[in-house]
Amino acid sequence: MTETLTMAGAAELKFRDPAQARRLAAALEQVSAEIGRAPVSVMHVCGSHEQSIAKFGLRSVLPRSLNVIMGPGCPVCVTDLPEVDEAVVLAEDGVRIATYGDMLKVPGTVFSLSDAQARGGKIDVVYSAAQAVELARDTTEEVCFFASGFETTAVATAAVALSPVPPNFTILSAHKYIPPVMEIVAEMPGNKVEGFLAAGHAATITGSRIFERFVEKHRIPVVVAGFEPLDILAGLVKLVELVRDGTPEVVNMYPRCVSPEGNRNAQEQLWKVFRTVGGKWRGIAHVPNGNLRLRDEFARVDARRRYSIDLRRLWTHAPATLTQQCICGDIMAGIASPTACPLFGKTCVPDAPVGACMVSSEGTCKIWHQYGGHPDL
């Protein structure tokens, strides 16, 4: 058979060369050893990084002395209960909800969107904001795009808000903004994070320079990294070098996509449509400026203004006791690992998630549960 028909075909891609990966893994081992203490803890703040680490089995080649913590990098996981409730209430009131696939199972106070669907609500999975608009064009029903994600996907939502949309289309924004939460983690008591691996795709929008103030303030290095296995390993080598040398700097290891100033056009669109507001990130904390909400000028497409979404009817219910035992917050802050949670793998499984980390394919607990975190395979 031809070589191009195997997964090995993927190895021909420049950033998927196993031989180079082995060299980088050896370099990482070397640099980590040179620090002379263990563990050295670094954090990535992007679900796509963990997805790649898990998918390619990279955790099994990371040095034992290096603790790569998964931070609050899954936008689906940090979507707060009331945000899900808003979408659920709209769905139960007959509004057609269009959203990204992994939002379906995120538990709300009482129901997830998947539950709402089983109870007769109309939920459509879409791949893009533009597709949600098309859906609205093809129907007379009210269509609401339940928008989630960080800067990268928020820009796509912004582009839609700036374009002509049919009158039956609205946006329910659950978009999050990453830079403020890094501050929260850095200032969290008990945190051991000595360096951050920043998400390459979000940085294509914001630029790498956005992290300079953070580095100056907290004296912690930040490396911007891409998502191919070699990107991640090279990013980690650079980050651990900076930790070893005690040089808090911003280094862009993803220059093929990320520039220092980022994508000006995209930033312009983003801030024309959205403003930052403080809000709770599920399991983490109140994050000042962590949520992206539509500006007043876009009231006509804002679901929160089009409909009176009455969440009070949900507040009469006490949160389930299981939810109170969930330690998602500590896990996403890098203070605890999934196995430290009494619910993990027992009452909280991907099939019936208690905490948000078990929901998304980018969630720490789900990745841990599915891919095992078993380096001894």
Site residues for another protein, 354-373, by CB under 8 A, read: 360-362, 370-372
**Geometric angle at alpha carbon 107, from 373 and 174, rounded to 5°:** 100
Residues 241-300 touching another protein, rule: CB under 8 A, are: none
Select from 63, 75, 283, 329 the one that contacts another protein (CB under 8 A): 75
Of 33, 162, 320, 340, the residue at the interface with another protein (CB under 8 A) is 320
> Contacting another protein (CB under 8 A), which of 40, 42, 46, 97?
46
Provide the β-strand partners of residue 224. Answer: 198, 252
Output DSSP code: residue 260.
S
Residue from 39, 260, 288, 350 touching another protein (CB under 8 A): that is: 350
Give the single-character DSSP code of 320. Answer: P
Q: Could you tell me which stretch among 9-17, 187-195, 211-219, 273-281 binds another protein (CB under 8 A)?
A: 9-17
Residue located via tokens 């953070």: 214
Cβ of residue 247: shortest distance to another protein, in angstroms?
A: 29
Query: Under the criterion CB under 8 A, does residue 343 sit at the interface with another protein?
Result: no
Rounded Cα gap, residues 241 and 35, in angstroms? 9
Q: How far apart are CA 64 and CA 67, in angstroms?
A: 7
> What is the maximum span of the chain, computed from C-alpha positions, in angstroms?
65
Positions 138 through 157 that interact with another protein (CB under 8 A): 148-150, 152-153
* Residue 100: partners with Cβ closer than 8 Å, 6 or more residues away: 76, 125, 126, 127, 148, 149, 153
- Residue 40: what residue type? V
* 21 or 35: CB nearest another protein: 21
Alpha carbon distance 15, 11 (integer Å):
8
Whether 128 and 155 have beta carbons less than 8 Å apart is answered as no
- Residues 93-132 touching another protein, rule: CB under 8 A, are 93, 100-105, 110-112, 114-115, 117-119, 125-127, 131
Residues 43, 185 contacting (CB under 8 angstroms): yes
Shortest distance, position 275 Cβ to another protein, whole Å = 22
Which of 40, 54, 136, 182 forms a contact with another protein (CB under 8 A)? 54
- Tell me the closest approach of the beta carbon of residue 18 to another protein, in angstroms: 4
User: Is 226 near another protein (CB under 8 A)?
Assistant: no
Would you say 103 or 273 has its CB closer to another protein?
103
